Amino acid sequence: MLIDSFGRHITYLRISVTQRCNFRCLYCMPKIPFDYVPKEELLSFEEMFVFVKELIDRGVKKIRISGGEPLLRKDLSVFIKMIKTYKNDIDLALTSNGFLLKDYAKELKNAGLERINISLDTLDSKKAKKLAQKDVLSSVLAGIEEAISCGFKVKLNTVALKGLNDDELISLLEFAKNKKMQIRFIEFMENIHAYGALRGLKKDEIIKLLSQKYTISLIKKDEFAPVSLYSANGYEFGIIDPHSDAFCKSCNRIRLSAEGLLIPCLYHEDALSIKEAMRSKDIEKALQILVKVLENKPEKNEWKLNDNQISKRAFYQTGG
């Protein structure tokens, strides 16, 4: 079993397979150039898999693959099939912007992927172009439809932003509801890589806007994630509050970046690299590093909103 210094059992691994993205979203990486990280700087899928197997053997039950945009990483379905072949009942999910999903959904399904979270911040093509700095909406919507037709369980992720999509939250909720998907509104995560003029909506503000049409009631707070589930006249949706440390006491996750960094907490910089160990096929060394990472995992996040704290973390590198 994987247990940190506060007695929490680690059963959830998030893997960022690439920091590359084909969007330049204002809330994430608007000024980062369209660069290419040389393949030799990344862990190969084979190297990742050797380490992932060790974590599965030690109790990891859930894996989420993210980026950047994970579908930009060649042979992603091969990696997914490796994991599912090793442990068929692993809870395996993907987070994507949906732009390439129309072309890859069937391949991913055949490889064993079960669930996909897709970013959808607006249903207005002009707003989508402004947010992503690219004409994306029609491709994203096509990706959503293809994922549904392939039988995926689909959730939508929406970053709630003042003056950009705050007038669409009801429409977005109804879009998801009509397609029998769950939507999750996400509070904007302040970070130094984002467009500085952005202002996000907080949980109470999101609820107030939705309450203009729906009766909103709390269903439950997820014990292992920063999401609260609500009912809008019987339809279940979520709000993710990353500023809260309410779920930290039961946090069950660690992260692995494409370049081999093991990250104990999204809000901390205390990451250690397993790349050298995996390149030299020294799995024992990698496991020793894992032990140190678990020891470094903080009791709770250090995001103090009242102090106007802005994260230095590049979320596109860690799957934030």
The reply to whether 275 falls in a domain is yes
28 belongs to an annotated ligand binding site: yes
Question: What does the pLDDT read at residue 193?
Answer: 61
Asked if 97 and 118 touch (Cβ cutoff 8 Å), the reply is yes
Span 30-43, pLDDT tens digits: 777 766 677 788 99
- Please state, in angstroms and rounded to a whole number, the distance separating the CA atoms of residues 182 and 153: 9
Which alpha helices (DSSP H) does 133-198 contain, by range?
137-149, 169-178
Strands of the 253-256 sheet, one edge to the other: 216-221, 227-232, 235-240, 182-187, 153-160, 115-119, 91-96, 62-66, 12-16, 253-256, 261-263, 272-273
pLDDT of amino acid 306: 44
In a domain, 4, yes or no: no
Q: 189 labelled as ligand-binding? A: yes
**Is 126 inside a domain boundary?**
yes
Q: In the chain, pLDDT over 70 holds for what percent of residues? A: 88
In a domain, 6, yes or no: no
Query: pLDDT-based confidence at 222, cuts 50/70/90?
Result: confident
> Does residue 183 contact residue 123 with C-beta atoms inside 8 Å?
no
Query: What mean pLDDT, rounded, does the chain reach?
Result: 90
Any known ligand binding at 25?
yes
150 is in an annotated binding site: no
279-289, pLDDT tens digit by residue?
A: 999 999 999 99
64 is in an annotated binding site: yes
Domain count across the chain: 1
Please compute the mean of the pLDDT values over residues 284-305 and round it to a whole number: 86
Residue 29 or residue 57, greater confidence: 57
CB 57 within 8 A of CB 83: no
8 Å CB contact between 259 and 249: no
76-80, 185-189, 191-195: lowest mean pLDDT where? 191-195
Question: Is there a contact between 100 and 71 (Cβ–Cβ < 8 Å)?
Answer: yes
pLDDT for the residue numbered 316: 47
Residue 197 lies in a domain: yes
Binding residue per annotation — 181? no
DSSP 163: T
Q: What is the CATH number of the domain that holds 139?
A: 3.20.20.70
Query: Is 101 within the bounds of a domain?
Result: yes
Mapped onto helix, strand or coil, the DSSP state of residue 220 is strand
238 labeled binding residue: no
Count CB neighbours of 45 within 10 A: 19
Span 220-225, average pLDDT: 77
Is residue 35 one of the residues assigned to a domain?
yes
Residue-wise pLDDT tens digits, 124-148: 999 999 999 999 999 999 999 999 9
Q: Which domain holds residue 211?
A: 12-317
Is 255 annotated as contributing to ligand binding? Answer: yes
Is 8 assigned to a binding site? no
User: Quick check: is 140 in a domain?
Assistant: yes
